[in-house]
Amino acid sequence: MQKLTALIPAGNEIHNIEEVIKSVDFADEVLVVDSFSEDGTYEKAKEFATKVLRREYQYSASQKNWAIPQAKYEWILLVDADERVTPELRAEIEKILSAPPADIMAYWIGRNNHFMGERVNYSGWRNDKVIRLFKRDFCRYEDKHVHAEIIVQGNIGKLKEKLYHNTYITFDQYISKMNRYAWWQAKDYHSKTGRLTPYHFVIKPFWGFFKHYVIQSGFRDGIVGFTIGYIQAYVIFMRYVKLWLLRRDRK
């Protein structure tokens, strides 16, 4: 079987770090890259991980691109702290690594998403998938502040089993996270967005809500789906407010 490094980026994840490490304890190396946590994440990770490195956090893609070459083994399973590898997914990964196809450099993995204590079945999250199992020397993240995906030099496969994903802690903390994302998105959108108009502040947020709640059947997720649609509209609106502030060198 090919050896595997499980790579976990983490920052102030004391509530997650032990469980996520235990979910990947089948890996030959568990590497945690901590962004100078202040809540005990670093100390807890050292108890369970094979190796723990520290690096100042800039944005997700930058952190992961720095971390990937630090992996000891060629095959990497990258897992965020709010994700878990299920026993079924573990078995599928181990089967692939026992005889990996020579022409596949990475694999898509679907995610079962949870929000506000409920499983999200629609709301645009139904077919959520990420590239998380890949060969170290053939993959790097695109240089974006938010929602960067891995660029793969070669063919990509897809696993049948899924990651468990729960990004929600409390509503206030989630909104705070979305505000950070809006700032990062403003930086990404600065170079590709022309003059800001009511289209950006009214139509695009409304479309964001309509797409998630109506077109992608968020209404079938009840209050959770409505909340996801509302937050999507809010983040889009704040993206352009913060871009407006950014262009005027204000905060």
Radius of gyration of the chain, Cα coordinates, nearest whole angstrom: 19
CB atoms within 10 A of CB 70: 14
pLDDT level of residue 224 (50, 70, 90 thresholds):
very high
Structure confidence by residue, pLDDT tens digits, 128-183: 999 999 999 999 999 998 889 999 999 999 999 999 999 898 999 899 999 999 99
| Residue 206 tokens, joined | 């409304």
Q: What is the pLDDT of residue 76?
A: 98
Nearest to 224 by CA among 123, 82, 110: 123
Q: Distance between CA 5 and CA 1 in Å, rounded? A: 13
Q: What is the pLDDT of residue 94?
A: 98
Structure confidence by residue, pLDDT tens digits, 95-126: 999 999 999 999 999 999 999 999 999 999 98
Asked if pLDDT for residue 55 goes beyond 90, the answer is: yes
| Residue 229 tokens, joined | 């649609």
Nearest to 106 by CA among 72, 78, 142, 66: 78
Asked if pLDDT for residue 92 goes beyond 90, the answer is: yes
**Sequence spans of domains, the chain:** 4-166, 171-247
Classify residue 160 by its DSSP letter.
Answer: E
Structure confidence by residue, pLDDT tens digits, 180-221: 999 999 999 999 999 999 999 999 999 999 999 999 999 999
Our measurement of the distance from residue 197's CA atom to the centroid of its chain's CA atoms, rounded to an integer in Å, reads 31
| Structural contact between residues 53 and 33, judged by C-beta atoms closer than 8 angstroms | yes
Give the homologous superfamily in CATH for domain 4-166: Spore Coat Polysaccharide Biosynthesis Protein SpsA; Chain A (3.90.550.10)
